[in-house]
Chains A and B, each alone.
Chain A
Amino acid sequence: MKSLMRDTRIEIRIGGTGGQGLILCAKMLADALCTAGKHVAQSQTYEPTSRGGYCNSDLIISDREVDYPLATALDCLVLLDRMAVKPSWALLKPGALVIADTRLCPELPEGNYRVHHLPLSRTAIELGSERVANIVALGALAALGTLCERKALEQAVRADTPKSFLDINLDALSAGHRLGKQTAPLPA
């Protein structure tokens, strides 16, 4: 923690509502990055109502120990609900990567960002459960953000998934990854 040098840091936020698995999703990504030797700090904001209230999960990635563990300027924002747009939009860095769900977050403010509107929740529903929209988003984020190796992420998903959800979670990760690979950013 003792450092007078500025770290290189990457800030990611996954925003939506309580119950969407945003914290789990960030923890899986953090696990994969930790395995790769990165320093990460993962925090969350949530409401006392555990379902439906505004929730976000933040991840700070650094080559060294993270000094300030909360988000101040986002390199990447994943949006799984329109409720999460307002509290996060002002924190975006110019040129930041934005991945938003087409169904739950149909409208976005203007800005000089790399915006990808993707059918994350619709893909999850087609796979059999809207509950895996978080994992679809994780796959898309990993593909677009090139944050870590896909294998490490798959390992993290396996480690943090209950048996009954393992197959669908792995399918969701692959589907998200495909979505991420196929998309081109919307014109700014």
Chain B
Amino acid sequence: MNAIDKAPAPGAALRLISGNHACALGAVAAGCRFFAGYPITPSSEVAERLSRLLPEVDGVFVQMEDEIASIAAVIGASMGGVKALTATSGPGFSLKQENIGYAAGAEIPCVIVNVMRGGPSTGMPTRPSQSDIMQSRWGSHGDYPMIVLAPASVREIYTETIRAFYLAETCRTPVVLLYDQVIAQLTETVELSDGENRAPAERKWASGPRETYRPYAADEDGIPAMSRPGAGYRVHTTGLTHGENGFPTQNPEAVARNLGRLFTKFERHREAIDSWETLGCEDADVVIVAIGISARAAMRAIDIARAKGLRLGLFRPITLWPFPEKALRDATAGAHAVLVPEMNAGQLRLEVERILGSQRVHGLHRYDGEAISPEEIAARAQALAREKTT
């Protein structure tokens, strides 16, 4: 095994690793001990790396027969008490949606990596895209809450993978890690130190008398305690609408109580969930809102524009869903235009327009499999600034 496959040592120096590789390392650092997946470009390196890393830490790696079986196995492993991960790309993400809804409804912690490639359908396997922004939030039927994290660098894939497990376990929810092909297969020098590792997240386990345990009864934090397998608590898990006892019900009062709690269960945890970065927004005339490779292009566009006297800023949601609304409002308060460059036909723009209104918000969209360049963003921002002054 290559030396770079080892987990980072404390205070490690610069290392060269790819985004998908960083995801695998982050998963192991977070305590993930089960992976089930089916190879798909451009996410396969996550599986490839974990097939080597997991056996070394007494974990389990399974290459399943298909995408649906993969997410099903991950949900099963998590119900068995193990931190579990699957990784896929758009076509596989579509196939997994029914079971992602199951995990959301039955409140089974798990992490799903979706590396975005060109779509729709099988699309462009080796070309980047950012067109699963809405699917990652709304992909399964029915109402349900979802946490989606959108890292923009190799280093951030590592730290956000660890955070994904933390949030999945503590909020009892599936968490999607969403990044594009460029970042996934980008190899960058990174400094990974132990300082970034939180203590591995612990799920809230059931304790107390077995007779009164109710698997979907929650206290103030909105998160029901899970029973550790074999602990002797009576548990029932179903995709059907259920009451606090876990058994199916269509009783309006019981349904409303449980779903009401489900829809609002992140509210008390927003401090841990919300994450974003701002760059130069304080004095910006035009603020860019972007994720992934488009955000990396925006960082360079800021330099290009500022060298020409245009004050450009960047708001980058790291937690994409739930969207950090207030932070966006604050960051764009002084800007007369907001520009959303994204590799799709306008998905992130739709959310930004919902929050800010459509008047100031403009899109810059590419869906030809090419990343949006810093020069394109800078030129568009300059045009917007000119429109304002004329």
Contact = CB atoms under 8 A, between A and B. Distances in A.
Nearest to A69: B186
Contacts of A3: 299, 303
Interface string A57-71: 000000001111110
A37 B14 contact: yes
B188 A69 contact: yes
Given A4-B280, A48-B125, A68-B374, A31 B182 contact: no
A70 B302 contact: no
- Give the dominant DSSP class at B's interface: mixed
Contacts of B350: none
Given A1-B299, A41-B187, A69 B182 contact: yes
A4 B186 contact: no
Contact of B296 (A31, A39, A68): A68
Given A48-B126, A69-B296, A70-B182, A30 B302 contact: no
- Among B15, B182, B189, the one with the most A-chain Cβ atoms within 10 Å of its Cβ is B189
Interface in B262-318: 277, 279-280, 293, 296-297, 299-300, 302-303, 306-307
Contacts of B375: 72
B50 interface: no
A67 B182 contact: no
- Counting chain A residues whose Cβ lies within 8 A of the other chain, the interface size class is 20 to 34
B16 A43 contact: no
B188 A41 contact: yes
A40 interface: yes
B245 interface: no
B374 A72 contact: yes
Contacts of B14: 34, 37, 39
- Among A6, A39, A42, A70, the one with the most B-chain Cβ atoms within 10 Å of its Cβ is A70
- Among B186, B277, B371, the one with the most A-chain Cβ atoms within 10 Å of its Cβ is B186
Contacts of B153: 1
Contact of B187 (A1, A30, A47): A30
B186 A42 contact: yes
A88 B16 CA distance: 25
A51 to B, nearest CB: 14
A34 B280 contact: no
B279 to A, nearest CB: 6
Contacts of A5: 303
Nearest to A48: B125
Interface residues of B, number: 32
B123 to A, nearest CB: 11
A30 B152 CA distance: 20
A68 B292 CA distance: 11
A69 B375 CA distance: 14
Contacts of A34: 14-16, 189
- Among A3, A27, A44, A69, the one with the most B-chain Cβ atoms within 10 Å of its Cβ is A69
B297 A27 contact: no
A103 interface: no
A46 interface: yes
A151 interface: no
A66 B371 contact: no
B41 interface: yes
A87 B373 CA distance: 15
Contacts of A70: 182, 293, 297, 371, 373
A38 interface: yes
B94 interface: no
A45 B187 CA distance: 13
A40 B16 contact: yes
B301 to A, nearest CB: 8
B329 to A, nearest CB: 22
B185 interface: yes
A5 B302 CA distance: 9
- Among B153, B186, B187, B303, the one with the most A-chain Cβ atoms within 10 Å of its Cβ is B187
B299 A67 contact: yes
Interface of B: 2, 14-16, 41, 125-126, 152-153, 155, 182, 185-189, 277, 279-280, 293, 296-297, 299-300, 302-303, 306-307, 371, 373-375
13 contacts: A1-B299, A4-B280, A5-B303, A27-B16, A27-B187, A39-B189, A40-B188, A43-B186, A48-B126, A68-B373, A69-B188, A70-B297, A72-B300
**Complex A-B, nearest 8 residue pairs according to Cβ-Cβ distance, in ascending order:** A68-B300, A67-B299, A42-B187, A34-B16, A6-B303, A67-B300, A39-B189, A41-B188
Given A4-B303, A6-B303, A42-B186, 10 more contacts: A3-B299, A4-B280, A27-B187, A30-B16, A30-B189, A34-B189, A40-B16, A42-B187, A67-B299, A67-B300
